[in-house]
Amino acid sequence: MSEELKIYNPDPAFVAQANVSGMAAYEALCKEAEEDYEGYWGRLAKELISWQTPFTQVLDESEAPFFKWFADGKLNASYNCLDRNVERGLGDKTAIIFEADGGEVTKVTYSELLAKTCQIANGLKSIGVKKGDRVVIYIAMSVDGVAAMQACARIGATHSVVFGGFSAQSLRDRINDTGAVAVITADCQVRGGKKLPLKGIVDEALALGGCESVQKVLVVNRANAAVTMQEGRDVWMADVADSQPTTCEPEWVEAEHPLFLLYTSGSTGKPKGVQHSTGGYLLHAALTTKWTFDLKDNDVFWCTADIGWVTGHSYITYGPLALGGTEIVFEGVPTYPDAGRFWKMIQDHKVSVFYTAPTAIRSLIKAAEANDAVHPKSYDLSSLRILGSVGEPINPAAWEWYHQHVGGGRCPIVDTFWQTETGGHMITPLPGVTPLVPGSCTLPFPGIQFAVVDEVGNDMPWGKGGILVCKKPWPSMIRTIWGDPERFKKSYYPEDFKGKYYLAGDGAIRDEKTGYFTITGRIDDVLNVSGHRMGTMEIESALVSCTELVAEAAVVGRPDDTTGEAVVAFVVLKRPRPTGDEAKAIAKLLRDHVGKEIGPIAKPKDIRFGDNLPKTRSGKIMRRLLRSIAKGEAITQDTSTLENPAILDQLAENL
Ligand code: PRX
């Protein structure tokens, strides 16, 4: 990589005004953390967070890897994001600029957001929700969604937001696993000019059974869509919240109190409920917003992620609000009414910090190249000062386009590497510090001890690829997998590293000269399609759950120009191998089945049918061969251990 390094140095004028200003400042922070790790995090926790009861201990390692941070301190996340800003005179400042799918704009001040949050919080209390209860939120991007999360935090209930694109079955599994007492949803969501049901899917999920813990379903009225309200169980949010007082004393919780559970995919089994804390999580959400996005009082910040993903938690609901920032919440999609929507919104709202995913950029490049009217050059994007990328590797070509056409060649791009489990940025440039190299997430955030090691935990020399680990616990780390501490230990603190290092699940390589990190992709059976994380096993289980048709299925990923990776499924049916139109019809049926089981994001792009799957004599599916077939590569690997080599040609046949 070194030879072809193209380096973009930060502009001195930018450096001069930055929250972390210059490489020497970055190095000083890293040194401070190295010399006194607890002192460093303790100092920041005092500076960024308001504590109702101050903590006396920073890190408790006595039950490692179940680390505790600031454990005897008490705080409230919603107090920190709302009341505190009103108290410092920001009551009339715009907290959220909401733009609906159809373009209507609503501005909400800090005082208004606080009042709304308190009303929902009082409403939740009035139906019996209390500290420690779980509340599932299944709602689209909205002020109500953010306020509902804040309201849960306010009363000490643990929220678990389920992305609105997940199916009834996935929603049911999550409700069941959390044991939620209430579900907050809306009649529908509006995306791309269409109303898509939400409440109806909640009804379906609850009807599947196993959700007996749910006592109430609160329904926000988004667009007067027809819904069936079940007497005694379902109530309109307006009826519960609108007449409530606009003040609500925050529930002061211990720093380790679970703020939220968020489900994500691993290489085995069902999605796992990643449990985050209140104190450590909020600290890192606020700190990374301040340093990585250099957030200032007059910035207009826009993170395009959905609140159903961790990015929406840290960089919509918590980080920017904890700093008293102004942010955009966008209901719609980047391509409606046309693919210039993002650029028009940046122009209209004078967005200064813009954070999105490579998939979105790649699809907008295609559209812009085909039509000048939706090209960024047709809009005034001069308000932008920082661009961000998240969720998957950004290829250098997309990086260059983003830099040149969206950022006008002047905005630093922060390529932020992190995960649902890490709570906030782990490896990322800081815009007033780091010389940028397209395609590299550069250096660890100050204090974060990421490293590239071999299978037993020895450091790899720079220039040699290996396994990405974190050598020290950090405040916003996953605390456990909800209800399954053993799985937490096995997944993240495996014995290979003597239970001492956090295993990220990604491979990485450090540049020979600069030590910059480049993520080389997952080292487990996790796929990343359009920045959405999915386990191959989940999709395989969904396919074989079509019991009348499917005997066996194997799923692999294939590189894709737009979505990063695409899902390819190899399927053995319980009937003779279909060809032609029949094969196409069955493939469609299976795709729809996966959509119903998991959600449309998991639908395989390509399905191949075979009489069998390539297996070793001991019966193990040879996935590396399937990956080659999926890519359309000639098989060069050794196939001598294969039970049935003839199967490869069959599986290579496209529908
Ligand atoms: O493989 C890495 C990839 O996304 C995974 C985490 O996915 P998730 O938990 O859904 O969180 C996404 C939003 C933080 C990682 O294990 N990933 C995330 N960011 C990057 C990335 N890969 C390369 N570069 C990134 N900047």
Distance CA 473, CA 475 (A): 7
CA of 477 to the centre of ligand 1 (A): 15
Look over the chain and give the mean of its residue pLDDT values, rounded to a whole number.
96
pLDDT band for position 1 (50/70/90)? very low
246 within some domain: no
600 within some domain: yes
User: What per-residue confidence (pLDDT) applies to 3?
Assistant: 53
- Name every protein residue with a CB atom under 6 angstroms from any ligand 1 atom: 264, 310-311, 390-393, 415-420, 441, 504-506, 519, 522, 528, 533
Distance CA 120, CA 183 (A): 13
103 within some domain: no
pLDDT band for position 4 (50/70/90)? low
Is position 291 annotated in a ligand binding site?
A: no
Q: Which of 419, 467, 563 to mutate to test the pocket of ligand 1 (most atoms within 8 A of CB)?
A: 419
Residues 6+ apart with CB under 8 A from 556: 536, 568, 570, 623, 626, 627, 630
574 within some domain: yes
Distance CA 120, CA 126 (A): 10
Is position 393 annotated in a ligand binding site?
A: yes
129 within some domain: no
pLDDT in tens, 68-113: 999 999 999 999 999 999 999 999 999 999 999 999 999 999 999 9
644 within some domain: yes
Distance CA 350, CA 77 (A): 28
Whether the model pTM is above 0.90: yes
CA of 415 to the centre of ligand 1 (A): 10
Check which CATH number belongs to the domain holding 600 and give it: 3.30.300.30
492 within some domain: no
* Among the listed residues 559, 569, 565, the one whose alpha carbon sits nearest the alpha carbon of residue 530: 565
Distance CA 585, CA 587 (A): 5
Backbone angles phi, psi at 518, to 5 degrees: -125, 130
646 within some domain: yes
Which of the residue ranges 25-34, 268-277, 323-332 would you say has the lowest mean pLDDT? 268-277
Half-sphere exposure of 56 (CA within 13 A, CB side): 1
Coil/strand/helix, residue 60? strand
Is position 388 annotated in a ligand binding site?
A: no
Domain that holds residue 641: 530-652
**pLDDT, average across residues 185-189:** 98
pLDDT in tens, 344-376: 999 999 999 999 999 999 999 999 999 999 999
- Number of compact structural domains in the chain: 1
- Whether the pLDDT of residue 2 is over 70: the answer is no
The percent of residues above 70 in pLDDT, for the chain, comes to 99
